[in-house]
Amino acid sequence: MSEVLTYGHGILREKAEPVKQVNDAVRRLAKDLLATMYRANGVGLATQQIGRREAMFVIDVSPRTVPEEARQPPENPGVPMPLVLINPAITELKDEQRAEEGCLSFPEVYVTLTRAAEVVVAFTDLDGRERTARATGLLARVIQHEMDHLNGVLLVDRMSLAQKFAVAGKLRRLKQRAEAA
């Protein structure tokens, strides 16, 4: 398992590079991402968050990872969990949802953000097959959040000035810890 990098680590701002071929190394990376995400009690994790740059992230919004109080009726029954997305691209965004969002790279920071309520994402799976998935609700939100990571966009970039001010102390401490590491 890898360490989850927190705000202040430079690689979090770097854009991902496409995966050229799905091979055993990519499958091992997916396994590491999942194990790291589960250990950190997350629902999604992108490669930059563990210091890598491959265009890839993992998601699990099943009852295994979502706290009971946050569970909703199954929104995406045709999408198996966990989900590994290699070279993902969002091809469609629809409507809006507003909800609280956190990030493993910003521990103890939660803000309310607006994201699309429904997305269609194209990606390559671990067998090297091209896939698409339509997602709503929490899964749509997590896909958009992890896509941001692949583009070097962080939770703090989505915050309003008031939200940044409210968590300024936490952000400063995270950045100082990253610089000291």
Q: What is the pTM of this model?
A: 0.92
Q: Which two tokens stand for residue 78?
A: 């045709």
- Dist CA 169 CA 177 (whole Å): 12
Mean pLDDT across the chain, nearest whole number?
92
Percent of the chain with pLDDT over 90: 85
What size, in residues, is the chain? 181
Spell 121-143 as b/e; 16+ CB within 10 A means b.
bebbeeeeeeeebbbbbbbbbbb
Q: How many whole angstroms separate alpha carbon 80 and alpha carbon 60?
A: 9
Query: Does 72 or 110 have the greater pLDDT score?
Result: 110
Catalytic residue flag (residue 100): no
pLDDT recorded at residue 154: 96
As a whole number of angstroms, the distance between CA 118 and CA 144 comes to 10
Whether residue 73 has pLDDT greater than 60: no
Fold of 10-180: Peptide Deformylase (3.90.45)
| Domain range summary for the chain, segments of one domain joined by + | 10-180
**Tens-place pLDDT, residues 125-176:** 999 999 999 999 999 999 999 999 999 999 999 999 999 999 999 999 999 9
155, 54 Cβ separation under 8 angstroms: no
| Tokens at 143, concatenated | 């896909």
pLDDT for the residue numbered 71: 55
State the average pLDDT over residues 4-25.
96
The catalytic residue among 14, 100, 108, 146 is: 146
* Residues β-bridged to residue 94: 118
